[in-house]
């Protein structure tokens, strides 16, 4: 049996008090001055230990309360109430919801799979990834238990171009020369961030976590510094500045270089391959209406890995916006029709916020996924975007200790790996390479809705179409 992939986790507390969902409102007016106030009965001693974090202006009543409701229920004059913390409601936006952010914070702290305990409370369906369900028909088979090791489930993927056939000479000697491949134990790489407050600690945390989890982190060419030298085996250098500025020595040391798509990108690939034939080249471009045609043209010309990017909410270019899962399905199907799909590796990025999104993008046809904002959220980012306006970061991300950041990211990725094993186990799939493009094992809300209601003249429930 292959050696089991396991990510070491360790509890890594937040530096700042996390913003919690429920706050406490305790009125003084009308107090009956009971001999035994319910506040004294709090088993967590929340009222006795009450303090104010003057740096964040946070009352510890809101952050230390464990939501047992004992004081709320027992106060005879109903002077204590629980309410949704307004700071919590203000976290993130419609896509990066407070629930998603809180979920990532918890996983980054302890590396555990989030468990809601009381069943699923969300809507039946929604936009984006929520309009897709995976087939969990094998969930009752206890042998398919990847987390606890009773059956090995592989999440390993190869990045690179694959040969469709091998040629041998008359003596049986292999004469085909297979293109270089890079293997990663999890279909996740770390991408460049759409925004961040700067500071090299963030990049170093990404790289350290990439090394620990045996994956890769994409680094802008201009951000590469000499103190990242030891991480070169885990770096995907995004040559978005000027690839000709890269020294031959650097090109020979790197395993992967990413190029922005351009008219002469294949000529650049050839130039780099002459210097280092073992190099794997990614070609990166933004999802759009023409993405299928462009991906097929690149695959035909010899592209090895195509990195398809969406914006932070998973949408492609504005002139023809389509959610990433839907566009990747189109591209995957187009490449199959052109007989090119198995030759090239597809990576999708943008809007990936939860572990289930990784599984869903793979089912839609991506070989692997590049993750960005969740890694920053793992390091306490609140998705307030103040850094995009040059305003100081409320959680001082520019000055983090990279080892602390890497530990939080490692915990998050471990939680995601375990959730991926859960999904695959429940689907009865033991090999993630076989899950790629398995759209027959998923249901898509818009398609079901169309199938059922199109003949009745009823408008769509999601977008009114
Ligand atoms: S709700 Fe429970 S934990 Fe929170 S302050 Fe009241 S008694 Fe303490
Ligand atoms: S917390 Fe706000 S300012 Fe800090 S990195 Fe996140 S989005 Fe930027």
321-380 tens-digit pLDDT: 899 999 999 999 999 999 999 999 999 999 999 999 999 999 999 999 999 999 999 999
Look at the alpha carbons of 141, 147, 151, 152 in this order and tell me if their dihedral is positive or negative. Answer: positive
pLDDT over 60 (residue 131):
yes
At 452 the pLDDT is: 84
Quote the ligand 1 centre to 306 CA distance (angstroms).
52
Quote the ligand 2 centre to 398 CA distance (angstroms).
9
pLDDT over 80 (residue 311):
yes
Other CB atoms within 10 Å distance of the CB of residue 465: 8
Q: What is the mean pLDDT of residues 288-305?
A: 96
Quote the ligand 2 centre to 197 CA distance (angstroms).
7
- CA dist., res. 437 & res. 292, Å (int): 15
Look at the alpha carbons of 388, 102, 64, 76 in this order and tell me if their dihedral is positive or negative. Answer: positive
At 199 the pLDDT is: 82
At 395 the pLDDT is: 93
What's the CA dihedral at 420, 313, 129, 318 to 10 degrees?
Answer: -130
In this structure, of 209-218, 318-327, 414-423, the range with the lowest mean pLDDT score is: 318-327
The Cα angle at residue 226 between residues 224 and 227, in degrees rounded to 5? 100
At 165 the pLDDT is: 87
**Which atom of ligand 2 is the closest one to the Cα of 391?**
3
- Residue 19 backbone phi and psi in degrees, to 5: -80, 120
What size, in residues, is the chain?
Answer: 465
The answer to whether the CB of 194 falls within 8 A of the CB of 373 is yes
72 Cβ closer than 6 Å to some ligand 1 atom: yes
Share of the chain above pLDDT 70, in %: 94
The secondary structure of residue 158, as a DSSP letter, is E
CA distances in angstroms from 326 to 131, 181, 465, listed in the order given: 10, 27, 16
At 146 the pLDDT is: 64
Other CB atoms within 10 Å distance of the CB of residue 15: 15
pLDDT over 60 (residue 218):
yes
CATH number for the segment(s) 157-450 = 3.20.20.70
Percent helix, strand and coil across the chain, each to the nearest 5: 40, 15, 45
- CA dist., res. 286 & res. 309, Å (int): 5
pLDDT over 60 (residue 2):
no
pLDDT digits (tens, 9 = 90+) for 222-236: 999 988 999 999 999
Domain boundaries, the chain: 157-450
25 Cβ closer than 6 Å to some ligand 1 atom: no
């Amino acid at each position: 049996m292959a050696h089991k992939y396991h990510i070491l986790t360790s509890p890594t507390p937040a530096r700042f008090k996390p913003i919690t969902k429920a706050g406490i409102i305790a009125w003084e007016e009308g107090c009956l001055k009971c001999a035994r106030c319910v506040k004294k009965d709090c088993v967590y001693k929340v009222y006795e230990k009450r303090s104010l974090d003057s740096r964040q202006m946070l009352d510890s009543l809101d952050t230390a309360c464990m939501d047992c409701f004992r004081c709320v229920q027992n106060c005879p004059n109903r002077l204590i109430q629980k309410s949704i913390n307004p700071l919590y409601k203000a976290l993130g936006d419609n896509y990066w919801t407070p629930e998603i952010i809180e979920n990532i914070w918890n996983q980054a702290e302890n590396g555990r799979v989030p468990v809601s305990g009381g069943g699923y409370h969300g809507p039946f369906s929604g936009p984006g990834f929520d309009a897709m369900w995976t087939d969990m028909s094998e969930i009752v088979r206890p042998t398919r238990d990847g987390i606890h090791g009773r059956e090995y489930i592989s999440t390993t993927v190869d990045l690179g171009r694959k040969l469709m056939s091998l040629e041998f000479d008359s003596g049986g000697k292999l004469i085909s020369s297979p293109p270089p491949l890079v293997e990663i134990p999890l279909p996740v790489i770390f991408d460049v961030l759409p925004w961040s407050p700067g500071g090299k600690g963030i990049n170093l945390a990404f790289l350290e976590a990439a090394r620990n989890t045996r994956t890769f982190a994409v680094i802008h060419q201009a951000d590469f510094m000499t103190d990242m030298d030891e991480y070169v085996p885990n770096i995907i250098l995004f040559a978005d500045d000027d690839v000709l500025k890269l020294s031959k020595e650097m090109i020979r040391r790197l395993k992967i270089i990413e190029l922005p798509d351009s008219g002469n990108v294949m000529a650049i690939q050839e130039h780099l391959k002459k210097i280092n034939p073992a190099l794997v080249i990614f070609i990166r471009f933004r999802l759009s209406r023409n993405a299928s045609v462009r991906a097929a043209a690149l695959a035909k010309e010899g592209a090895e890995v195509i990195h398809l990017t969406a914006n932070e909410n998973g949408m492609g270019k504005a002139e023809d916006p389509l959610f990433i899962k839907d566009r990747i399905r189109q591209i995957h199907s187009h490449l199959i029709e052109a007989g090119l799909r198995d030759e090239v590796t597809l990576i999708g990025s943008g809007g990936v916020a939860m572990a289930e999104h990784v599984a869903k993008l793979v089912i839609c046809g991506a070989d692997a996924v590049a993750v960005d904002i969740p890694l920053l959220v793992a390091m306490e980012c609140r998705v307030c975007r103040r850094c995009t306006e040059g305003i100081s970061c409320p959680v001082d991300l520019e000055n983090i200790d990279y080892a602390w950041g890497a530990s939080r990211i490692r915990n998050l990725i471990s939680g995601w790996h375990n959730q991926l094993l859960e999904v695959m186990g429940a689907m009865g799939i033991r090999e993630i390479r076989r899950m790629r493009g398995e759209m027959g094992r998923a249901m898509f809300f818009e398609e079901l809705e169309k199938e059922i209601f199109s003949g009745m003249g009823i408008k769509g429930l999601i977008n009114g179409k």
